[in-house]
Amino acid sequence: MRVAFMGTPQFAVPSLEALLASRHEVAVVVTGPDKPAGRSRRMTETPVKQSAKRRGLPVLQPHDLRDPFFAKALAGFDPQVNLVVAFRILPPVIFNTAALGSVNLHASLLPQLRGAAPINWALMRGQTSTGVTTFKIERKIDAGNILLQEPVEILPDDDAGSLAERLSKIGAKLMLKTLDGLEEGRLKPTPQRGEVTDAPRITRETCRIDWRREAEVIHNQVRGLAPVPGAFSRLGDRIIKIFRSVPHSDLPGNVPGEVGHTEEDGFFVGTGCGCLEILELQLEGKRRMKAGDFLRGKQVHAGTKLGW
C-alpha cells in the first residue's frame, strides 16, 4: 500500500522504520519545520526528517497545513492512506486526501487520555496500565472510530521517557498490523466506547511542584514529567528540577517543602502527607546529577525549604 507518513518527534521514528522494513511503500514523509535548538540555537531537523533523509525519502515540511500548495504537493504523491504518529492536528482538506483516509497512532487506550500528552498524564494520574490505539481521523480530535488497540503495563520504575520508548515500539507493530488489515479488508472501524478522559498539553504550571500535596501524587508528577520538561521547585532564587524520587507515605511528614533529613544517596522533603525522597535532580545552570553528589555541595541540609 502507498503511504504518506506524518510525524515529528522520536516517538514516531520506530513506526516509520517499521513501515520501511515492510512490504508497504512510503511515498512521502511529512514532518515539522526545522527549528533552532540548544544554547547555540542551531537549526535542527526533526528526528523523523533525519530518519527519512537517511533513506532518501522525499520530505515535506509545511508551516501551515491549510496551505493549498501543501495540499496539492501531498496529493501529487497519490497516497492510498495517510499514517499519522505524533504530528499536528490535520484539517479535513488533508486527512481526506488519501483514498482510505488517515489513520492515527495514539499512545493510550482511547477514549481514555484524549489529547496532546497521554503518556505524561497516564503516569501523573498513577495509572498502572495504558496502551496504544490506531483509529480513523475525523474532525473531532482523537474521537475517530477505533481500528486496533493493545494494552501495555506501566512498570513501577517507568518515567515518561521509558514508557514512551516502549509504547513507540509496540505502537509501530500495531500500526503495521493496522495497515495490513486495511489493505486486506479485515478491519472494521468501531466507535469509541467508555469514559472519556483528557490529556491536555503540558504547561509550566503542570510542572510546578506543590509540596502541600501527597507524596505519592508528587512522585507521579515527577515520573510523568521526566526526563522533559521536568517537575520543578525553587531553591532560593533558583529553579531545581527533580527527575527521580521515592514516596514514603508511611513516614511522618515535616512542613511541606522542608528538608527533614539527608542520607548518603538522597534527601527527604515534607509533603502534605508523608515525605518524598529525592534521588536525582538538576539545579538551574548545572548538570543533572544524583542527589548524593548534589548533597556533597552542601546546598541542602535539614531545614532547607523548597518553594512552590
Tens digit of each residue's pLDDT, the chain (308 residues): 999 999 999 999 999 999 999 999 999 999 999 998 877 788 899 999 999 999 999 999 999 999 999 999 999 999 999 999 999 999 999 999 999 999 999 999 999 999 999 999 999 999 999 999 999 999 999 999 999 999 999 999 999 999 999 999 999 999 999 999 999 999 999 999 999 999 999 999 999 999 999 999 999 999 999 999 999 999 999 999 999 999 998 887 679 999 998 988 899 999 999 999 999 999 999 999 999 999 988 778 889 999 87
State which amino acid sits at residue 68.
P
Sheet strand arrangement including 59-60:
59-60, 25-30, 2-7, 81-85, 102-106, 129-136, 146-153
pLDDT the model gives residue 36: 87
Nearest CA to 197 among 140, 115, 134, 124?
Answer: 115
Q: Report whether 207 contacts 232 (CB < 8 A).
A: yes
Cβ atoms within 10 Å of 204's Cβ, excluding its own: 8
Give exposure, 31-41, as e/b (b: 16+ Cβ within 10 Å).
Answer: bbeeeeeeeee
pTM of full prediction above 0.75 = yes
pLDDT the model gives residue 188: 92
Cell of 105: 497512532
- Lookup result for grid cell 493493545: 150
State which amino acid sits at residue 70.
F
Q: Report whether 84 contacts 7 (CB < 8 A).
A: yes
pLDDT the model gives residue 123: 98
Residue 245, phi-psi category: left (phi > 0), alpha (psi -120 to 50), beta (remainder): beta
Where do the domains of the chain lie, and which CATH numbers do they carry? 2-184 (3.40.50.12230), 204-307 (3.10.25.10)
pLDDT the model gives residue 15: 98
Task: Tell me the C-alpha distance between 86 and 137, whole Å.
Answer: 13
Task: Tell me the C-alpha distance between 219 and 222, whole Å.
Answer: 5
Query: What are the start-end ranges of the E strands in the chain?
Result: 2-7, 25-30, 35-37, 42-44, 59-60, 81-85, 102-106, 129-136, 146-153, 231-235, 238-248, 259-262, 267-270, 275-283, 289-290, 306-307
pLDDT the model gives residue 20: 97
pLDDT the model gives residue 251: 81
pLDDT the model gives residue 126: 98
State which amino acid sits at residue 179.
L
For residue 196, CA distances in Å to 76, 123, 139, 270 come to 37, 17, 17, 34
Reported as a single tens digit per residue, the pLDDT across 193-246 is: 999 999 999 999 999 999 999 999 999 999 999 999 999 999 999 999 999 999
pLDDT the model gives residue 135: 98
- For residue 286, the 8-state DSSP code is S
Task: Tell me the C-alpha distance between 74 and 143, whole Å.
Answer: 24
Q: Report whether 154 contacts 163 (CB < 8 A).
A: yes
Cell of 53: 533523509
Task: Tell me the C-alpha distance between 156 and 269, whole Å.
Answer: 21
Reported as a single tens digit per residue, the pLDDT across 208-219 is: 999 999 999 999
Cβ atoms within 10 Å of 157's Cβ, excluding its own: 8
Packing angle, helices 13-20 and 47-54, rounded to 10 = 20
Cβ atoms within 10 Å of 177's Cβ, excluding its own: 16
pLDDT the model gives residue 41: 81
Q: Which H or E element spans position 52? A: helix 47-54
